Amino acid sequence: MVNKDKIQNAVKNILEAIQEDTLREGLVDTPKRVAKMYAEIFSGLAMNPAEELEVMFSEEFKEMIMVKDINFYSMCEHHLLPFFGKAHVIYIPQHNKITGISKLARVVEIYARRPQLQERLTNQVADLLQERLDPRGVMVVIEAEHLCMSMRGVAKPGTTVVTTALRGIYAADSAAQTSAYALLNR
C-alpha cells in the first residue's frame, strides 16, 4: 500500500527546495494530488500480473496470436518522468493453452504501473507469458516516448525507443520473426 502521507511530505519538501510558496493557492493541495496520483500510477506494485494468466482455455490453435497497439504509460525509474507508447504482444500456443486476449493487455498494464525501465518491462511481459503459457514462442515489442529524453537532457521530443524480447521459436527462427514483424507492420 502506498504511504500517501510520506508522499505528501516529500512533495512539500521538493516545492520548498525549489523556492516555491507551498501556501500559494495553486500549490496548497498539490502534495495531496500528487500522492493520490502516485497511488494510481504505481498501483502495479501491489498487483501480481501472473494472476491475470490463471484463466486459460483449451483450444487447438497452433498459429500466431497477436495483440497490437496496447497503449500504456509508465514512469521512468531514473527520473520519475513518464514514458508512454504501445506494446505489441505475440505468442504461438502449444499444448492447446491459450488465454483471453484482454489478459495480455492487463499484464502489460500491471508491469507498466511500476517505476520501470522499458527494457525490463519488455522482458517481464515476455518472461511471464513464456512461463505461464509455455508457448512455442513469444515476441514482445514496445515502442515508447520517454519524457526524460524529451523534456530534459538531450531534449528531443518525439523520439521513439523500440525494445524487443524474443522467446522460444522467435529467438531461434528468423523466418518466424519475419512473419511476426510483417503482421506487426501492417
Residue 146 annotated to the active site: yes
Q: Which of 20, 79, 94, 145 is catalytic?
A: 79
Residue 124 annotated to the active site: no
Q: Which of 8, 116, 118, 124 is catalytic?
A: 118
Contact of 104 with 89, CB cutoff 8 Å: yes
Which parts of the chain fold into alpha helices (H)?
4-17, 30-41, 101-112, 118-133, 147-150, 169-172, 174-184
Half-sphere exposure of 149 (CA within 13 A, CB side): 13
Residue 148 annotated to the active site: yes
Residue 78 annotated to the active site: yes
Q: Which helix (H) or strand (E) holds 153?
A: none
Q: At what angle do helices 118-133 and 101-112 cross, to 10 degrees?
A: 140
Q: Which of 78, 95, 119, 131 is catalytic?
A: 78
Residue 88 annotated to the active site: no
Q: Which of 77, 95, 119, 131 is catalytic?
A: 77
Residue 79 annotated to the active site: yes
Q: The cell 493541495 sits on which residue?
A: 29
Helix (H, G, I), strand (E, B) or coil at 131: helix
Residue 63 annotated to the active site: no
Q: Which of 94, 143, 145, 148 is catalytic?
A: 148
> Which residues have a catalytic role annotated?
76-79, 118, 146, 148
